[in-house]
């Protein structure tokens, strides 16, 4: 099976990264993989993507690590008595593929290795998901610099939230990145409303 593979990272946690990843995976009829899940009490991101993407169960790939505590993976692994081996975090060969990181690009996987370091090894086009609220310019530009300093290819920035034209335009201009689109808050949020919103606010040709 051929097609693209993308990494989805964020400027922070709880900003809509998983919802965007579900929308992208569903639109591309892709496979979805989250290498490390930290926090299981409220369900995993894999389960959420399965519910929101409209994809068959076979397209939702199992994590390499499932950790109990909702915190940085390096700490969650230590609490579970697990040692994360970055060598186990090689992207599946199947395509198309959407890979979701945990939190932001500089979240530690181990005491010495950040997600951005692994992204640099993968060399896959990376999408930065950013909120549109106060503080997003600083967080977004820092994320862009962190990835670019490691020569991670950045496909662009996808925004989530209410429209903020000035912030979105400023991030794209100063960061020298493409503005891929903006996913609005959805009520209700389900597979149908997400698919419709993704089709309205993003261009699939940007992800080919």
Q: Where are the beta strands (DSSP E) in the chain?
A: 5-10, 31-33, 36-38, 65-67, 97-104, 126-131, 154-160, 179-183
Predicted confidence (pLDDT) at residue 82 exceeds the cutoff of 60: yes
116-150 per-position pLDDT tens digit: 999 999 999 999 999 999 999 999 999 999 999 99
From 23, 30, 32, 34, active-site residue: 34
pLDDT tier, 42 (very low <50, low <70, confident <90, very high otherwise): confident
| pLDDT attached to residue 2 | 75
Q: Starting from the edge strand earliest in sequence, which strands make up the sheet with 126-131, in order?
A: 31-33, 97-104, 5-10, 126-131, 154-160, 179-183
- CATH of residue 69: 3.40.50.300
- Residues 6 or more apart whose CB falls under 8 angstroms from that of 146 comprise 105, 106, 116
pLDDT tier, 84 (very low <50, low <70, confident <90, very high otherwise): very high
Instruction: Please tell me whether the overall predicted TM-score, pTM, comes out greater than 0.95 for this model.
Output: yes
In a domain, 128, yes or no: yes
Does residue 17 have an active-site annotation? no
Q: 29, 202, 11, 182: which is closest to 101 by C-alpha?
A: 11
Q: Is residue 138 within 8 Å of 117, Cβ to Cβ?
A: no
Mean pLDDT calculated for residue range 15-33: 98
In a domain, 208, yes or no: no
Distance CA 99, CA 126 (A): 9
Distance CA 161, CA 149 (A): 28
| pLDDT attached to residue 41 | 87
Predicted confidence (pLDDT) at residue 1 exceeds the cutoff of 80: no
Predicted confidence (pLDDT) at residue 60 exceeds the cutoff of 70: yes
Mean pLDDT calculated for residue range 158-182: 98
Instruction: State what percent of residues in the chain have pLDDT above 90.
Output: 96
**Structural domains of the chain, count:** 1
In a domain, 131, yes or no: yes
Mean pLDDT calculated for residue range 81-108: 96
**Cβ atoms within 10 Å of 135's Cβ, excluding its own:** 12
| pLDDT attached to residue 43 | 87
Domain extent at residue 126: 5-203
Predicted confidence (pLDDT) at residue 5 exceeds the cutoff of 60: yes
Mean pLDDT calculated for residue range 51-77: 97
In a domain, 14, yes or no: yes
98-124 per-position pLDDT tens digit: 999 998 999 999 999 999 999 999 999
Instruction: Tell me the three-class secondary structure of 134-151, residue by residue.
Output: CCHHHHHHHHHHHHHHCC
Q: Give me the helix-helix angle, 17-28 and 45-53, nearest 10°.
A: 50
Listing DSSP states for 46-106 in one string gives: HHHHHHHH---GGGBPPPSEEESSSS-HHHHHHHHT----GGG-PPPS-SSEEEEEEEETT
């Amino acid at each position: 099976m051929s097609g693209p593979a993308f990494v989805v990272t964020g400027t922070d946690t709880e900003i809509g990264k998983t919802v965007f990843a579900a929308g992208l995976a569903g639109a591309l009829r892709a496979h979805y993989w989250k290498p490390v899940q930290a926090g299981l009490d409220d369900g995993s991101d894999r389960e959420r993507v399965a519910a929101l993407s409209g994809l068959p169960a076979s397209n939702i790939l199992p994590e390499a690590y499932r950790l109990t505590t909702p915190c940085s993976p390096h700490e969650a692994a230590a609490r579970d008595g697990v040692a994360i081996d970055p060598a186990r975090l090689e992207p599946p060969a199947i395509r198309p593929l959407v890979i979701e990181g945990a939190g932001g690009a500089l979240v530690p996987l181990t005491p010495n290795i950040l997600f951005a370091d692994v992204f640099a090894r993968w060399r896959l086009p990376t999408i930065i998901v950013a909120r549109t609220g106060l503080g997003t310019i600083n967080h977004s530009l820092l994320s862009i610099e962190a990835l670019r300093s490691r020569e991670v290819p950045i496909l662009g920035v996808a925004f989530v939230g209410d429209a903020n034209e000035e912030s979105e335009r400023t991030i794209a201009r100063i960061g020298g990145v493409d503005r891929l689109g903006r996913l609005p808050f959805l009520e209700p949020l389900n597979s149908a409303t997400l698919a419709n919103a993704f089709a309205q606010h993003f261009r699939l040709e940007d992800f080919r």
